[in-house]
């Protein structure tokens, strides 16, 4: 990422190999420090904190996540909580731990969030069920995704394919 403040003639280049790295807070802290302004230290990524714990043991990892949410919001960034859970579920899904991914996605869709984000969570639950060869549950979740967000073209397309 390349950030420039042309008025102050400052440029910051940031690179990471971590998924879901929230660089905006770090960028803001760097610009503040360079301008001799108070620096606000960004909060830690929930996704990066929980993904390996959930991969190792979904129930213990999700209990750890709930503890972070209940007791450590001062240290961890929960501003896009559904996104962090969806990213965690996708991380687990890519490792073929379908039931564990479904648990994470179900936790995500239970949150108060934008309808499109909740619909995406249901779409991913459907994908996990498809990978398990469980077509009825896949269809149920794709239908839920479309019911929440009729503009979810991917879920609509998959439902059409499953109907054939």
pLDDT in tens, the chain (164 residues): 788 888 888 888 887 765 546 677 788 888 888 888 998 888 888 998 999 999 999 999 999 999 999 999 999 999 999 999 999 999 999 999 999 999 999 999 999 999 999 999 999 999 999 999 999 999 999 999 999 999 999 999 999 999 88
Domain boundary among 113, 132, 152: 113
Q: How many structural domains does the chain have? A: 3
My answer on whether 105 and 73 are in the same domain is: yes
- Judgement on whether residues 97 and 137 belong to the same structural domain of the protein: no
- One domain for residues 82 and 125: no
**Residues 49 and 104 reside in one and the same domain:** yes
Q: Which domain holds residue 100?
A: 44-113
Domain identity same for 56 and 109: yes
CA distance 104 to 27: 30
User: Same structural domain for residues 109 and 51?
Assistant: yes
Are 50 and 104 part of one and the same domain?
A: yes
Whether 129 and 137 have beta carbons less than 8 Å apart is answered as: yes
**β-pair partners for 1:** none
pLDDT value for 40: 84
β-strand 44-45 against 2-5: which pairing, if any? unpaired
Output DSSP code: residue 143.
H
| Element (DSSP H or E) covering residue 2 | strand 2-5
77 and 137 together in one domain: no
Residues 38 and 1 in one domain: yes
pLDDT of residue 63: 98
């Amino acid at each position: 990422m390349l950030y420039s403040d042309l008025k102050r003639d400052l440029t910051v280049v940031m690179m990471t190999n971590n998924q879901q790295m929230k660089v905006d807070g770090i960028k803001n802290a760097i610009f503040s420090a360079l301008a001799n302004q108070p620096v606000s230290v960004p909060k830690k990524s929930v996704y990066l904190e929980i993904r390996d714990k959930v991969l190792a043991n979904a129930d213990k990892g999700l209990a750890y996540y709930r503890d972070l949410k209940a007791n450590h919001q001062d240290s961890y960034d929960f501003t896009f909580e559904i996104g962090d859970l969806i990213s965690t579920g996708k991380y687990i899904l890519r490792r073929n731990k379908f039931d564990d991914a479904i648990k994470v996605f179900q936790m995500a869709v239970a949150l108060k969030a934008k309808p499109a984000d909740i619909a995406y969570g249901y779409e991913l639950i459907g994908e996990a069920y498809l990978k398990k060869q469980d077509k009825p549950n896949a269809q149920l979740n794709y239908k839920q995704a479309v019911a929440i967000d009729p503009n979810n073209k991917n879920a609509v397309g998959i439902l059409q394919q499953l109907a054939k």
